[in-house]
Structure 1
Amino acid sequence: MNWERWYMELDQDDETWEVSEEVVLRGTVQLHFCGQDSEVEIEFMVSADSEEEAQAVREPKQEQKKTWEQYMAHGSDIHPHVLEAIHHYYADVVEKYQNAYTSWGEDLDEYAPYVERSEQLLKRLQPVSILIPDSAEEDELYLNFSCFWDREHGLGVHMKQGTPEHIQGAYTLYDLE
């Protein structure tokens, strides 16, 4: 893939200028996650010191490009570790979700089944977006998934240097920083 051309074609969300000097650059890409192909939205969060600087943003910063390109080059090695980390996380929270779905009269086998192997999660877990922040941390990104046990919030995996660091609801994950 010609990433330099792709960076230049990202859509710029300029509505954030009124609230902050952070620019969101968005694009999509086909992602192959553990045997599943999904179209995933990519968001690069680019900081700027002023509204004028924000208006001049046309592409992600070099560190963000490096993070993105390393992730895409090594995704097939990274993804099995992400899936295993999600499986461990799910094993820790499944009982909480089973209690909730039972109280709502929902089918546990559909929304919160016990699973023995991480691969069993694949048919009910789908990557939907990746966020690459403009941070001092090198090689940091967030993988966001839709998942069957938390249909409202989804699942977020905070990654550093290709390794899952923290997992929780997709949009509540950003509040940790």
Structure 2
Amino acid sequence: MSNAESIINVIDTFLDKFSLKTNKLTKQDLISFIEEKWAEADDEKYNIYQAYIITGRMTNEYIWAKDFPNMKRWLDMNDRHSASGRNEPYIRNYYKGQCCLECGNEEKALEYFNLCYNENPDYIFTRAPFCYEFFNKHLENPRELPKQEEGQDDYFEWVELEEWQSFFNEEESEIQCEILFDDDEEEEFREEHENGIEYLENNQTEILESILTELLKVYPDWQKDYGYSEEDKPDFMPDVTTIKDFANLISPTSIYVTSVFKDDLPYIGFLFSCSWDSEHGLGVMTHKNRIVEIGGADTAFLTWIAEKDNNKSK
């Protein structure tokens, strides 16, 4: 009987715990653990999709470590997996070339890019600029590459919330911010958008307290819904008694300023990573410091939630 599925599940759980804010393990601990467990699993692992994800993760770990021999070894294991056959050879060769280039081996990268180019001459030029710019320099007849268009204003691409940084013990105080325009073709930054950013910056503590207070209300029911075992519950969804307990369980990742306005202020959504659901995260839609809805990640950017609330008062 194959042992692959159970071992891959062990690795998967380890990766989930490694991603927690309370994690004290190092990158080397991660690499050593996965290398050991991977070696224990039989070849049925090459038919388990989550194992395919793990090979990609380990490839990236060795890219970051600039360890080409081990990166290439995991790249080859990625290629052995049955899921790799879903992609055309030129796509797989492009991916290998990108990994080699990121790991610092230009000679090997060029070899794979040439294989990709020979089968599909256009594909590489639709991918990452640093890859096709590198490859283009080595062509006998280089292509004329399109000039990068200067982007429009970033419209508050980042918002600085120092009080949030302090609460969550984050390294940076800036949080990614996106304006959700009504019409993507006619992006009009309005005074109400700016009012919303200013309100957030000036009332960041009150807004955060409102979010966490609402989370504290729904959290016990969510614990039941997720149903973590007694063994895993302390790591992923422990009991909490105050809003301060959430500091190690969630982190803000994105802010969405909608184009739904009320009292000259926009509805604003907040996206958080969370320990109990690494895939879907936590989303909150607000107006000023009032919580409109709390739920999964999409709650932060579904503008119909804001529109529905706004229509109630009309």
Does the alignment reach a TM-score above 0.5? yes
SS in 2 for 1:71: helix
Residue pairs, 1:1-177, within 5 angstroms: 9-10=153-154, 27-31=157-161, 32-33=163-164, 35-36=167-168, 37=170, 38-48=173-183, 51=185, 54=186, 57=187, 60-97=189-226, 99=227, 101-102=228-229, 107-137=232-262, 138-172=265-299, 174=302, 177=305
The residue identity in structure 2 corresponding to 1:114 is: D
| Offset from partner CA, 1:93-152 (integer Å, 9 cap, x none) | 11111x2x33xx961111121112221111111111110111143331001111111111
Q: Size of the alignment, in residue pairs? A: 146
Distance 1:172 1:139 in 2: 15
SS in 1 for 2:272: strand
Distance 1:163 1:86 in 2: 13
Structure with the larger RCO, 1 or 2 (CA within 8 Å, 6+ apart): 1
Distance 2:206 2:277 in 1: 26
Task: For structure 1, list consecutive stretches of 5 or more residues without a partner in the other structure.
Answer: 1-7, 11-24
Q: Is the 1:39–1:128 Cα contact (8 Å) retained in structure 2?
A: no
Displacement after TM superposition at 1:159 (Å): 0.3
The residue identity in structure 2 corresponding to 1:163 is: R
Displacement after TM superposition at 1:64 (Å): 1.0
Structure number having the greater helix percentage: 2
Q: Which structure: larger Rg? A: 2
| Offset from partner CA, 1:48-72 (integer Å, 9 cap, x none) | 4x84xx2xx4x62111111111111
Displacement after TM superposition at 1:161 (Å): 2.3
Distance 2:304 2:279 in 1: 19
SS in 2 for 1:116: coil
CA 1:42–1:147: 2 relative to 1, 3 Å: same
TM-score, normalised to structure 1, is 0.71
Root-mean-square deviation (CA), in Å? 2.5
CA 1:87–1:64: 2 relative to 1, 3 Å: same
Distance 2:156 2:278 in 1: 23
Q: Is the 1:155–1:168 Cα contact (8 Å) retained in structure 2?
A: yes
Structure number having the greater strand percentage: 1
